[in-house]
Amino acid sequence: MLVLEDLRFGYGRDALPYRFSMTAPRGAVTAISGASGSGKSTLLDLIAGFLTPEAGRLTMDGVDLVPLPPEARPLSILFQSDALFDHLSAEQNVALGLPRARQGERETIRAALGEVGLGHLDARKAAALSGGERQRVALARTLLRDRPLLLLDEPFSALDDETRGSVRALVQRLTIERNWATLLVSHNRDDVEAIAKRRYRLSERVLAED
């Protein structure tokens, strides 16, 4: 379980600090919503280790994350942009989720692509994939990282309605099956209502249950 206890951060000495308190259990999607500029990106940056809090606690399964550098934190991040390399195949992009010494494990990579429904597209270049297929490749790469915490930053916003629904359902299924604590940041109310078990809203620099 991800736990934030009065985690505080301010931009500059005189800035009113953001205050974040929440829990995100394993095996479920927890949603964060709020207006543009409300602090959602700040929250993700604190969890990921790109920013250092001024006070409060941040733990995952009882482990204090604050002293850990970003690369040592037990998490993966999926952004609105899938961050694929267009000149590489789906299989090669997914392989980047493995440590360098294991990037030749083709069966492991193909199994991850199969789990997101793209086993038949392993050799296709990323540039030739649809938006939904690209996000599925990014999810397959996340599977290979096998981290207990998944941060989703507007991951469905560039998808059409039909593709959006199928990728949302895939995220929800993998969260349950892999027992991830998944944190979804989204402006879209439909996304939140479709898959989130717990909901929080950022307003006036304070995070509270919605």
Report DSSP state, residue 54: S
Residue 192 shares a structural domain with residue 135: no
Task: Please indicate, yes or no, whether residues 182 and 125 belong to a single structural domain of this protein.
Answer: no
pLDDT score of 130 more than 70: yes
Domain count, the chain: 2
DSSP for 149-208?
EEEEESTTTTS-HHHHHHHHHHHHHHHHHHT-EEEEE-S-HHHHHHHEEEEEEEETTEEE
The string of pLDDT tens digits covering residues 59-103 is 999 999 999 999 999 999 887 766 788 999 998 888 887 776 566
pLDDT greater at residue 146 or residue 88: 88
Compute the distance between CA of residue 178 and CA of residue 25 in angstroms, rounded to an integer.
13
In CATH, what number is assigned to the domain containing residue 176?
3.40.50.300
**More confident position, 69 or 144:** 69
pTM (2 d.p.): 0.85
pLDDT at 28: 96
Confidence of residue 104 (pLDDT cuts 50, 70, 90): low
Query: Of the candidates 126, 146, 166, which is a domain's last residue?
Result: 146
Is 165 part of a structural domain of the chain? yes
Q: Average per-residue pLDDT in the chain?
A: 88
The mean pLDDT value for 200-210 works out to: 91
Domain span at residue 197?
1-74+148-210
User: Are residue 8 and residue 51 in the same domain, yes or no?
Assistant: yes
Looking at the fold, whether 133 and 160 belong to one and the same domain comes out as no
Shared domain for 182 and 200, answered yes or no, is yes
pLDDT at residue 132, as a whole number: 82
Whether residues 92 and 70 share a domain: the answer is no
